[in-house]
């Protein structure tokens, strides 16, 4: 029998009979259990006689996957596989990542969250509700292992660009953690998806008999803060040093909670900091194509929420690093929110917007702001589809030889413009990236490959760097290091196609490089709790999960 310490399955008790081996997704090999294993583990008779190779199993999964009639069906198929056989699930997702990413993450995961109660099969992850107040530390003992390294938590208030989906938002932490494993090899058993259900203000869900969450309006204010505080204490007690990623919280809670916990716990907010980092990498790559300097840019954001402010803060940090004062650096970033251009004379600005309120006459809409500010880069993070109109994109094209246009709102239906629109309206001159994937576009015989500003380029590698060093905190400088590393990895031939990000096919190389850069930051700031290994790259590589079946019975 295999020694328990030999792989990531080590922290789980071995099944005790044949049926349990088949029903435990961590240990199950399905039809790939060998003859020897069938004899030793009590499996003979419980499986069809032919022993399949893993390659044959992958082929079967892919045949089924490609024969489904909708992406939601594909999502359901993959979730069922994950529940049945985790090793095979990750082998498929890792081997076919470009095909799988839009299913296990945006845009399909958004649809899955909207339909969550209706497609629900089997519970995955951990639910804490406001009814559990006072019990969190104890109830987390129900999770089957103490060896948890990464938690992704949501309260479901701002799922992608889809708004408040309450407890149905659970698809997001599950999907993000699948990407931690698929992109950076964080062991699946060390990942814990959590939803904190404080209610929902979504009327449709409140009236839906199949909704899986609490039927109450959202708790806010002090009662909400007390729940989050109890949660942070409870996870640290149960899983000391665990990395906690906040995901898809509503705007005001997201900024407040980040400010409150980033110096107290090992935590970050992906919507603010991960987005800031991946978009900064896109901006730095775009400058290779436009041959511009960051300090010469005028960046206009549509949307001044978590994503927009997160991106601007990173641009400002880089400019300050290059010698500008914070005030000078912020002048390079302009914002239009739902009320128009953010300017000094406005009296309705929240704290995070006030830093970016410049002296300028009011503009009530994006078109007049574009005409007046004359941006070199236009970045959409508003969740408002079709707002980069033909007129606006054409003006960007007349102002700039290579206008930089990032339509980052998710899912695809919320994008500010499509790749085809951006390229067509600028005669193929736009440097374009989006939040959800778009297919390449051919104009006058030249094919343009749009970049997908997918946070999955950043957070898995950052997480691997944090986990490998046992970092005590997550700092802004780690996200800047991650962005610079990502931008440095893009190849000349990828840039020539118009890409501002490397191909997703290279994601393991990208995540490893980011993990090394983040680890260097951790050591530089003395935030590590584990000694530095002699050969850092080899050590981090050795930590990465591989989707391979072990031999449970040694010959
Ligand atoms: P948020 O709710 O924090 O912010 C949305 C902002 O848009 C707010 O400032 C709001 O005032 C503004 N807004 C709303 N309606 C507007 C209008 N008509 N005109 C101008 N501004 C308007 O949300 P967020 O976290 O910043 O996310 C925004 C969008 O960005 C979402 O669609 C999300 O999916 C997307 N996003 C993409 C990525 C990525 O591509 N990597 C990452 C994170 C978020």
The CATH number of residue 85's host domain is 1.20.1370.30
Contact between residue 428 and residue 397 where contact means Cβ atoms under 8 Å apart = no
Per the domain annotation, does 526 fall within a domain? no
| Residue 527 included in any domain | no
265 Cα: distance to centroid of ligand 1 (angstroms):
26
Answer whether 435 contacts ligand 1 (Cβ < 6 A). Answer: yes
Q: With cut-offs at 50, 70 and 90, classify the pLDDT of residue 9.
A: low
Give the nearest ligand 1 atom to 309 CA. 26
Res. 10 pLDDT band, cuts 50 70 90: low
The response to whether residue 342 sits with its C-beta less than 6 Å from ligand 1 reads no
519 closest CA partner among 470, 457, 455 = 470
How far is residue 447's CA from residue 442's CA, in Å, rounded to a whole number?
Answer: 4
Render pLDDT for 418-474 as a digit per residue (tens, 0 to 9): 999 999 999 999 999 999 889 999 999 999 999 999 999 999 999 999 999 999 999
pTM for the model stands at 0.94
388 alpha carbon to ligand 1 midpoint, in Å? 14
Last residue of a domain, one of 100, 126, 153: 100
Q: Where are the beta strands (DSSP E) in 388-482?
A: 404-407, 431-434, 441-443, 446-448, 451-452
Of 67, 100, 133, which residue constitutes the final position of a domain?
Answer: 100
Q: Are residues 47 and 28 in the same domain?
A: yes
| Count of C-beta atoms within a 10 Å radius of residue 286 | 26
State the closest ligand 1 atom to the C-alpha of 248, by its place in the atom list counted from 1: 25
Query: Residue 401 and residue 16: Cα distance in Å, rounded?
Result: 67
Q: Is residue 117 part of a domain?
A: yes
Both 447 and 357 in a single domain? yes
3-state secondary structure of 364: coil
Extract the tokens encoding 337.
């929110």
- For ligand 1, the distance from its centroid to the CA atom of residue 220, given in whole angstroms, is 21
**pLDDT exceeds 50 at position 368:** yes
How many Å lie between the centroid of ligand 1 and the Cα of residue 164?
Answer: 13
Q: 326 and 205 share a domain? A: no
Contact 203, 434 (CB under 8 A): no
What's the token pair of residue 446? 């030249």
16, part of any domain: yes
Task: Please say whether the beta carbons of 78 and 100 come within 8 A.
Answer: yes
| Cα gap 136→228, rounded to integer Å | 10
Same domain as 437, residue 377: yes
pLDDT 10s digits, 249-261 = 999 899 999 999 9
Q: Is the CB of 308 under 6 A from ligand 1?
A: yes
Q: What is the CATH number of the domain that holds 311?
A: 3.40.50.720
Of the candidates 382, 340, 377, the residue with the CA atom closest to the CA atom of residue 357? 340
**Which residue among 29, 111, 176, 414 is the active-site one?**
176
**Total structural domains within the chain:** 3
User: Is the Cβ atom of 458 under 6 angstroms away from ligand 1?
Assistant: no
pLDDT band at 351 (very low <50, low <70, confident <90, very high): confident
Q: Range of 329's domain?
A: 273-456
* Same domain (yes/no): 115, 81: no
Cis status of the peptide bond prior to 221, with omega within 30 of 0: no
Non-local CB neighbours of 391 within 8 Å, separated by 6+ positions: 367
| Closest to 358 measured CA to CA, from 377, 323, 332 | 332
Q: Is residue 133 part of a domain?
A: yes
pLDDT band for position 101 (cuts 50, 70, 90): very high
Give the number of the atom of ligand 1 that is nearest the alpha carbon of residue 454: 41
Mean pLDDT of 314-330: 96
The domain that contains 151 carries what CATH number?
3.40.50.10380
- The CB of 312 under 6 Å from ligand 1? The reply is no
Which atom number of ligand 1 is nearest to the Cα of residue 406?
40
**Average pLDDT in the 300-315 region?**
96
Whether residues 290 and 185 fall in one domain: no
What tens digit of pLDDT does each residue of 40-81 get? Answer: 999 999 999 999 999 999 999 999 999 999 999 999 999 999
331 noted as active-site residue = no
Q: Is the CB of 456 under 6 A from ligand 1?
A: no
Q: Which of 423, 456, 489 is the last residue of a domain?
A: 456
Tell whether 157 and 194 lie within a shared domain: yes
Predicted pLDDT at 554: 77
- Please indicate, yes or no, whether residues 166 and 261 belong to a single structural domain of this protein: yes
Q: Does ligand 1 have an atom closer than 6 angstroms to the CB of 310? A: no
Burial 22-55 (b: 16+ CB within 10 A, else e): bebbbbbbbbbbbeebbebbbbeeebeeeebebe
Q: Is 453 in the pocket of ligand 1 (CB under 6 A)?
A: yes
Assess if residue 74 is contained within a domain: yes
Does 313 map to a domain?
A: yes
Active site residue 176: yes
Q: Is the CB of 160 under 6 A from ligand 1?
A: yes
Any domain includes 524 = no
Written as six digits, the tokens of 286 are: 């775009």
Residues 291 and 410 in one domain: yes
Q: How far apart are CA 271 and CA 128, in angstroms?
A: 21
CA dihedral 160, 149, 86, 51 (to 10 degrees): 160
What count of Cα atoms within 13 Å lies in the side-chain half-sphere of residue 520?
12
Tokens linked to 120: 């629900």
Question: Do 332 and 440 belong to one domain?
Answer: yes
Q: Same domain, yes or no, for 167 and 296? A: no
For the chain, how far is it from start to end, CA to CA, in angstroms?
9
DSSP 24-44: -TTT--GGG--HHHHHHTT-T
Tell me the average pLDDT of the chain. Answer: 95
* Residue whose CB lies within 8 A of the most ligand 1 atoms, among 176, 250, 307, for a mutation test: 307
CA of 270 from ligand 1 middle (Å) equals 14
Residue 70 CA to ligand 1 centre (angstroms): 27
**365 lies in the same domain as 440:** yes
**E strand or H helix at 336, and its extent?**
strand 333-337
């Amino acid at each position: 029998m295999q020694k328990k310490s030999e792989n990531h399955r080590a922290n789980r008790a071995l099944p005790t009979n044949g049926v349990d081996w088949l029903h435990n997704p961590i240990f199950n090999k399905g039809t790939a259990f060998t003859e020897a294993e069938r004899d030793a583990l009590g499996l003979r008779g419980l499986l069809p006689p032919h022993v399949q190779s893993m390659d044959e199993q992958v082929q079967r999964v892919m045949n089924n996957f490609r024969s489904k009639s909708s992406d939601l069906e594909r999502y359901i198929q993959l979730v069922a596989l994950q529940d049945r056989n985790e090793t095979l699930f990750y082998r498929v997702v890792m081997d076919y990542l470009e095909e799988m990413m839009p299913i296990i993450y945006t845009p399909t995961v958004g649809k899955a969250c909207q339909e969550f109660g209706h497609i629900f099969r089997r519970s995955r992850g951990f639910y804490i509700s406001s009814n559990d107040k006072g019990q969190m530390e104890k109830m987390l003992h129900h999770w089957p292992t103490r060896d948890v390294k990464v938690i992704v938590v949501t309260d479901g208030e701002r799922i992608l660009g889809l708004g408040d989906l309450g407890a149905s938002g659970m698809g997001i932490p599950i999907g993000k953690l699948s990407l931690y494993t698929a992109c950076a090899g964080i062991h699946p058993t060390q990942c814990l998806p959590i939803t904190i259900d404080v209610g929902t203000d979504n009327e449709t869900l409140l009236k839906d008999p199949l909704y899986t969450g609490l039927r109450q309006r959202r708790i806010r204010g002090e009662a909400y803060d007390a729940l989050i505080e109890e949660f942070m204490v409870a996870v640290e007690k149960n899983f000391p040093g665990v990395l906690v990623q906040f995901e898809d919280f509503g705007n005001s809670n997201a900024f407040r909670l980040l400010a409150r916990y980033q110096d107290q716990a090992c935590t970050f907010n992906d919507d603010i900091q991960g987005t800031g980092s991946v978009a900064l990498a896109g901006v730095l790559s775009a400058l290779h194509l436009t041959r511009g300097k960051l300090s010469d840019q005028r960046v206009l954001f549509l949307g001044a929420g978590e994503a927009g402010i997160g991106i601007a803060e990173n641009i400002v940090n880089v400019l300050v690093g290059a010698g500008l004062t914070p005030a000078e650096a912020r002048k390079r970033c302009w914002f239009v929110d739902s009320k128009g251009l953010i300017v000094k004379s406005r009296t309705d600005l929240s704290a995070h917007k006030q830093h970016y309120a410049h002296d300028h006459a009011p503009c009530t809409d994006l078109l007049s702001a574009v005409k007046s500010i004359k941006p070199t880069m236009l970045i959409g993070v508003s969740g408002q589809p079709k707002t980069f109109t033909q007129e606006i994109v054409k003006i960007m094209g007349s102002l700039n030889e290579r206008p930089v246009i990032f339509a980052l709102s998710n899912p695809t239906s919320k994008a500010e413009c499509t790749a085809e629109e951006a390229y067509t309206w600028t005669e193929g001159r736009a440097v374009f990236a989006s939040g959800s994937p778009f297919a390449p576009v051919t104009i006058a015989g030249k094919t343009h490959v749009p970049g997908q500003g997918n946070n999955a380029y950043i957070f898995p590698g950052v997480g691997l760097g944090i986990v490998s060093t046992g970092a005590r905190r997550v700092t802004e400088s780690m996200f800047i290091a991650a962005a610079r590393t990502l931008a440095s990895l893009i190849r000349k031939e990828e840039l020539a196609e118009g890409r501002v990000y490397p191909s997703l096919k290279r994601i393991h190389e990208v995540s490893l490089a980011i993990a090394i850069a983040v680890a260097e930051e951790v050591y530089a700031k003395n935030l590590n709790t584990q000694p530095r290994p002699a050969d850092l790259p080899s050590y981090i590589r050795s930590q990465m999960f591989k989707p391979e079946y072990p031999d449970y019975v040694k010959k």
